[in-house]
Amino acid sequence: MSDPVKSCEVLVVGGGPAGSTIAALLAQQGRHVVVLEKTRHPRFHIGESLLPLNLPLFDRLGVRDEVEAIGMRKNGVEFNSPTHDAPVTLDFSDAWDKSFPYAYQVRRSEFDHILFRNAGRKGAELLEGVRANRIDFEAAGRGALVTAKDESGQLLQWQARFVIDASGRDTLLANQLQLKEKNRRHNSAAVYGHFTGAQRLPGAAEGNISIFWFDHGWFWFIPLADGTTSVGAVCWPYYLKSRKKDVTSFFHDTIALCPLLARRLEGAQLVEPATATGNYSYSARRSFGHNYLMLGDAFAFVDPVFSSGVFLAMNSAFEGAETVRTCLDQPQEAAAALRRFDRVMRRGPKQFSWFIYRVTNPAMRELFMHPRNDWRVKEALLAVLAGDIFRGTPIGFRLSMFKAIYLFNCVLRPRRSLLAWLRRRRIVGETLHESAAH
């Protein structure tokens, strides 16, 4: 049995940061917006670290005070290397634009709930416990039929003029339309958990995210306002596949491989069993159609080393809201608007990916551990780490200089660089071969 087909102007699949943000913006335009969220808020989600350029987006949504109330102030990023004597901290106040000197660490259950409630206050119709499972598009781009099920198994359907896929790593449309591709240049897996009693940095640096390199990848260490600390290892899939014991024991063994982190966790207690996830990096071949957009992780996901996920998701929602307005109200300009949207969707992952692909390379580690501001390259790098990549900030030449310095460092140590390149190529190649075999 199913209910009669309902109708709406825009249907949003997913009530995370991307879906809730675009729902709020479209509802403010006076549109009938329906949001389908498969679970119920508040619900657990990983990815607790925000970027400074998130803050102006909060201002535009009107939620900054609520986010600040639950957030742990994050002034910068601490890098820890097993081959260097001391950690190095990069402060956002030293970025190209000094107007955004901090961000926040947040519990995603609380943060996502704030954005979700805000969409409801702005007029969006919020439906929780409803999982969309298929979207059928009508001819000539006239609309779409969205089919879903609620928690009781009841079949529900909506006729929508426009559909937003904000389903996150479920990648509903990318899977349905067979557009999803694993990243051929980078793939990783993660194991993570939350601790109480972890040793934090002193003073104003208490809320900084700490990054720890180790032989199989890197760790995050994210202090949260309630006293818990999120810790996770992002590693090559071969390492996660070597697990011969339960995930929690494997997680503790992995932490032991990084003495610098292990010291910070002496006496700390894991709050709940650890969690493992794989297939981290992917993208869809396109981000839009005649009457749909893919936002945030529904389009692409990259290694989270620079905490870009929530920012890219929310930024895509702002761009997407303007694109939907143009497509529905000025259809003669829809094609140009969709092309602009696609450029924005590709720009973010591209900017971060150059650094992500090289972050475990010894030459890149040297640059992070010995930061210099010759030709203002440090300020440009910090602008990227802050998320300042969409406003036209004039950092392009300086980033090119940084990349040139990186290449020069590789040339200075050719044997080390070649070995690192061959190792990475072998690991990525093995991962892709295994994926193809399955």
Can you give the residue ranges of every domain in the chain?
Answer: 6-44+108-182+283-349, 354-437
pLDDT score recorded for residue 359:
87
Chunk the chain into consecutive blocks of 10 residues (it has 438) and report each block's average pLDDT, rounded to whole numbers: 86 98 98 98 95 98 98 98 95 97 98 98 98 88 91 96 97 96 79 98 98 94 98 89 93 97 98 86 93 97 90 98 98 97 96 90 92 95 97 96 93 78 64 50
Amino acid identity of 384? V
Helix (H/G/I), strand (E/B), else coil: 160: strand
pTM (2 d.p.): 0.94
The residue among 182, 196, 175 whose CA lies nearest residue 132 is 175
Contacts 24+ apart (CB under 8 A), 397-406: 398/96, 401/374, 401/375, 401/377, 402/367, 402/377, 403/354, 405/367, 405/377, 406/358, 406/363, 406/364, 406/367
pLDDT score recorded for residue 437:
46
Cα angle, residue 309 at apex, residues 98 and 336 outer, rounded to 5°: 90
Question: Virtual CA dihedral for 219, 226, 14, 288, nearest 10 degrees?
Answer: -50
Q: Which CATH architecture has domain 6-44+108-182+283-349?
A: 3-Layer(bba) Sandwich (3.50)
Helix (H/G/I), strand (E/B), else coil: 189: strand
Cβ(201)–Cβ(210) below 8 Å: yes
The encoded tokens of residue 204 equal: 């104003």
The number of angstroms, rounded, from the C-alpha of 35 to the middle of its chain's C-alpha atoms is 21
The encoded tokens of residue 315 equal: 């930024």
